[in-house]
C-alpha cells in the first residue's frame, strides 16, 4: 500500500508547487492525484492530457453520462464503466510518475459525483504505488468530502496571515469531526513568510518543518508555464523542499 501524502492549505499558499517539487524526491512508482478542478498541477509538471489522449475524471464521467442518454438498455452502470475508464482513459502515465486529475466540470451541480468516484478508487489505486501524493483544491471542502481519508503525512502550506493560523485550527476540527486519520500533521511556510510569521507557525503547537525559500526561477517557470520538474537541483525552492522532507523522515536518494 502506498504511503499517502496530502498537501492542503488556503488558496495560493503553494500547495501545488509543493506537490510538484516533492514528487521529484519520492521513491517511484508515484501516483499524483490532483483534486483541484482548476487543473493546474498537470500544467506545472508539463503533463499534456490532450496530447496523450487522456481525460480528466470529469471529462470521462460526463462523456459516459452523455453516451448513456442515447443507449436504450445499458448493460453496465455508470459507476462500473467509470471504474475501468479510470485506468484506461484517466490515468496519465508519465516517465517517472503517473497522474490522475479531477478536471473542470462544465455542467451545473457540484463536484460530488467525480469526487466520490475518486474517493472509492483511491484505496485500489494506492496498491500499485510506493507513494501517492494528493494535491488539494484551496480551502476546506475536500476535507469535508473525506476524499482521502487514511493519510500518512498531511502537509499544510501556510501563507503569512492570521487567516492561516485560523485555517490550521479549522481543518484540525474538520478532520476530527469527519473522521480523517493521519500519521503526521506538518506545517510548511511559503516563501512570503518572514521570520516573524515563521515565529507564529512555530508557536502553534504543531510540527513546523520550515519554509520554502523564495525562488525567482520558480516564479519565472510558473509565468511561462514551464514544468517545475525541470527546475535545477540546486534551485532554492527545491533545496527547501528537500530539507523539509528530510526533516519529516523521508529517505531521499542523491
The SS3 of residue 132 is: strand
Cell of 140: 476546506
Q: Select from 2, 5, 6, 13 the one that contacts other proteins (CB under 8 A).
A: 13
Q: Which is nearer to other proteins, 2 or 197 (CB)?
A: 197
* DSSP character at residue 111: S
91/57 Cα distance (integer angstroms):
9
Q: Pairing mode, if any, of strands 3-9 and 131-135?
A: parallel
Per rule CB under 8 A, is residue 186 in the interface with other proteins? no
Closest separation in Å from C-beta 144 to other proteins: 6
Q: Which is nearer to other proteins, 1 or 110 (CB)?
A: 110
Q: Which is nearer to other proteins, 26 or 41 (CB)?
A: 41
146/142 Cα distance (integer angstroms):
6
Closest separation in Å from C-beta 113 to other proteins: 10
Q: Which is nearer to other proteins, 2 or 111 (CB)?
A: 111
Note the Cα 183 to chain centre separation in Å: 17
For other proteins, the binding residues in 35-54 under the rule CB under 8 A are 36-40, 43-44
82/90 Cα distance (integer angstroms):
10
Q: Select from 222, 236, 242, 246 the one that contacts other proteins (CB under 8 A).
A: 222
How deeply is 92 buried, as exposed, middle or buried, from its count of CB atoms within 10 A (0-12, 13-18, 19+)? Answer: buried
x-or-dash string of contact with other proteins, 160-179, rule CB under 8 A: xxxx--xx--x--xx--xxx
248/254 Cα distance (integer angstroms):
17
Q: Which residues bind other proteins (CB under 8 A)?
A: 10-13, 15, 36-40, 43-44, 104-112, 115, 137-141, 144-146, 159-163, 166-167, 170, 173-174, 177-179, 192, 196-197, 200, 219, 222-225
Amino acid at each position: 500500500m502506498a504511503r499517502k501524502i496530502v498537501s492542503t492549505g488556503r488558496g495560493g499558499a503553494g500547495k501545488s508547487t509543493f506537490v510538484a517539487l516533492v514528487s521529484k524526491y519520492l521513491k517511484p512508482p508515484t501516483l499524483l492525484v490532483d483534486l483541484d478542478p482548476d487543473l493546474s498541477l498537470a500544467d506545472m509538471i508539463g503533463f499534456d492530457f490532450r496530447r496523450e489522449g487522456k481525460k480528466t475524471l470529469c471529462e470521462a464521467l460526463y462523456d459516459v453520462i452523455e453516451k448513456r442518454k442515447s443507449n436504450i438498455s445499458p448493460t453496465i452502470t455508470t459507476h462500473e464503466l467509470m471504474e475501468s475508464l479510470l485506468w484506461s482513459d484517466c490515468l496519465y502515465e508519465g516517465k517517472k510518475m503517473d497522474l490522475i486529475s479531477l478536471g473542470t466540470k462544465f455542467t451545473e451541480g457540484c463536484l460530488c459525483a467525480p469526487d466520490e468516484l475518486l474517493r472509492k478508487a483511491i484505496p485500489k489505486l494506492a496498491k500499485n504505488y510506493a507513494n501517492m501524493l494528493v494535491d488539494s483544491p484551496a480551502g476546506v471542502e475536500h476535507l469535508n468530502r473525506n476524499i482521502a481519508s487514511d493519510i500518512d503525512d498531511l502537509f499544510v502550506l501556510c501563507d503569512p496571515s492570521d487567516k492561516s493560523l485560523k485555517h490550521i485550527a479549522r481543518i484540525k476540527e474538520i478532520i476530527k469531526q469527519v473522521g480523517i486519520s493521519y500519521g503526521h500533521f506538518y506545517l510548511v511556510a511559503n516563501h512570503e513568510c518572514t521570520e516573524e510569521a515563521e515565529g507564529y507557525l512555530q508557536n502553534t503547537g504543531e510540527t513546523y518543518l520550515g519554509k520554502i525559500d523564495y525562488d525567482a526561477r520558480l516564479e519565472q517557470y510558473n509565468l511561462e508555464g514551464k514544468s517545475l520538474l525541470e527546475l535545477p537541483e540546486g534551485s532554492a525552492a527545491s533545496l527547501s523542499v528537500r530539507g523539509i522532507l528530510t526533516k519529516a523522515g523521508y529517505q531521499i536518494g542523491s
